[in-house]
Amino acid sequence: MKFSIYIYLGLLAIFQGNCRKIENDPLKCEHIERIRADGAKLPVAIIETTENIKKSDRIDGYLRIYDLSETENSDCRGKLLHSDHIKIKMRGQSSASFPKKNYSIKIRDRNKKDKKVPLLSMQPNHKWVLHGPYVDQSMLRNHIAQEISKLTGQRALSSRYVEVYHFIGDKADFIGLYLLMEVIGIESLALNENPSSFIENENVFDRSFIFRLDPLDSNKFHFKTEFSQLDFSIFYPRVSDLSSHVAEQIPAKISDIEEKIFSDHDDDSIWDQLDRQSFIESLIVQDLAMDLDGLWKSQYLYKNTNGKLILGPVWDFNLAFNNYIFERSLGELNLVTDPQEGSILDRDVGIGSWTHRLAKSDKFRTQYTKRYRALRSEALSDSALSSLILSKKSLIREAQIRDFERWKLQVGDDTALESPEESVDRAVKQLLNFILDRARYLDDIYADPSN
């Protein structure tokens, strides 16, 4: 028995020693100089683990974020912006098959408890995503969609570009240019946290909720709406925090809203339950983006305590803005290649079954048109959109090229002879041209506020 205890204590000491080694041993200067020699100008996120990162289970690791352009006290490693224990795993559905992986990170304290931290000046949270836009050669689409959403006035998730290296012991691997992103949750959406218990006869829909529309969602509390058979699931609160009695009330509440939408599109009282501004401005983002997954997949709605149902935030715009990689690879399955494809108000897929019905109201369509034209006159003008995209291109171009050289994604035989510089420049130009062409087409559609 004593022998078993000694073995256990010995193994525990080795494990704790390894953890302390990762935490307390700063990276050697030779490692940092190797990274600096790569030419990193963006913040550098270094993930240290003792094994390969898995998809099924989170593993222990350590995260350091450096600004290599600054040094403190002549330290070769530059300015340390953040360091913490993490639990990390791969994330994604279709993206899990790509060579460049996406990652989900949880920040932990020394006692292995969740720890909220403001990474790169973003809202404090313990959950973060490292999004590696493999199929988006411009590496801008998700970030641009978030920025456009903010320009409309909607709440959107924050993100920062970082160059990521993975260390297993002394072995370092540059894994590419990533977006360090907030995740959808009560912190990023500024929602009130629900009390832990429910009061008898309480109207549970007065609480905070986040809903996700996605037919592939495996959430326990997944349901279809009565009229349009939309695939809803309860994203917040957690499944474990909901009793079956509470969960059963939610589909009925959503179906009541849906019934009201379908019963009389001119009934303005529906806006007592829906946030009109969010529906208008979120649809404008979708109108510009023409997202292949838009409205029916990775679509979110949320509400605060005693609040209205809000459409948003934007999420997963990899297939938006006519991602030409998918134009070539999906062929006849590609549904959105023409910037003159029509108005988002005429699409009735997914949540579009609601918005298409709402848009039958002349009042709603007029309000939508006026808001669109107001945004195009300033916040989303040609010059504003061009400036946004070109400024981001300037910020990440060198890292884009390094990422392209690392993953060597090609989009067709005619691009095989391109240099990395030519490939990323063409990708950004295609994105910019599409957005401007799409916006000018919509200008004609929404030329008359009575349209």
Q: What is the tens place of the pLDDT at every residue in 288-307?
A: 998 877 788 889 999 999 99
Please report, as a single letter, which amino acid is at residue 379.
Answer: A
- pTM over 0.85? The answer is yes
Q: State the average pLDDT over residues 18-42.
A: 68
Confidence label for 158 from pLDDT (cuts 50, 70 and 90): very high
DSSP 361-429: SHHHHHHHHHHHHHHHHTTTSHHHHHHHHHHHHHHHHHHHHHHHHHH----SGGGTT--HHHHHHHHHH
pLDDT of residue 391: 97
Q: State the average pLDDT over residues 424-446.
A: 93
pLDDT of residue 27: 66
Q: Is the pLDDT of residue 49 over 90?
A: yes
Query: How many C-beta atoms surround the C-beta of residue 111 within 10 A?
Result: 7
**Most confident residue range from 200-209, 247-256, 334-343:** 247-256
Query: How many C-beta atoms surround the C-beta of residue 24 within 10 A?
Result: 8
Confidence label for 329 from pLDDT (cuts 50, 70 and 90): very low
Confidence label for 280 from pLDDT (cuts 50, 70 and 90): very high
pLDDT of residue 3: 42
Q: State the average pLDDT over residues 52-58.
A: 89
Strand partners, 80: 66
- Non-local (6+) Cβ contacts of 443 within 8 A are 376
Q: State the average pLDDT over residues 97-104.
A: 90
Task: State the DSSP H helix or E strand holding residue 352, giving kind and residue range, or none if neither.
Answer: helix 352-358
pLDDT of residue 328: 42
pLDDT of residue 450: 54
Mean pLDDT of the chain: 84
CA dihedral 389, 391, 392, 398 (to 10 degrees): 130
Q: Which tokens sit at 383?
A: 């010059």
Q: Which tokens sit at 358?
A: 């709402």
Task: State the DSSP H helix or E strand holding residue 443, giving kind and residue range, or none if neither.
Answer: helix 420-445
Q: Is the pLDDT of residue 374 over 70?
A: yes
Confidence label for 265 from pLDDT (cuts 50, 70 and 90): low
Q: State the average pLDDT over residues 48-65.
A: 92
Euclidean distance between CA atoms 113 and 71, whole angstroms: 31
pLDDT of residue 449: 56
CA dihedral 265, 316, 221, 56 (to 10 degrees): 170
Q: What are the residue boundaries of the structural domains of the chain, listed by start?
A: 18-131+156-182
Lowest mean pLDDT among 35-49, 107-121, 238-252: 238-252
Task: State the DSSP H helix or E strand holding residue 89, giving kind and residue range, or none if neither.
Answer: strand 79-91
